[in-house]
């Protein structure tokens, strides 16, 4: 699941190399949103610690 933002950034880098600046910026923005959503899910997840 955490690999999704990195694949998006890799695709954005490929768009930069292909000269498609708009698509690269869109992929970057989508990757940032996905990363923030995954961070929110990670931070609010309850820990089950048994002592």
DSSP-assigned letters across all residues of 4-24: HHHHHHHHHHHHHHHT-HHHH
Query: Within 13 Å and on the Cβ side, how many CA atoms surround 43?
Result: 6
18/12 Cα distance (integer angstroms): 10
C-alpha R_g of the chain: 15
Stated length of the chain? 51
pLDDT value at residue 51: 82
pTM of the model: 0.81
Q: What is the pLDDT of residues 1-50, one digit of tens each?
A: 889 999 999 999 999 999 999 999 999 999 999 999 999 988 887 888 88
């Amino acid at each position: 699941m955490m690999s999704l933002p990195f694949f998006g950034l890799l695709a954005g880098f490929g768009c930069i190399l292909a000269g498609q600046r708009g698509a690269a910026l869109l992929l970057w923005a989508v990757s940032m949103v996905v990363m923030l959503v995954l961070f929110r899910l990670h931070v609010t997840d309850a820990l089950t610690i048994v002592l």
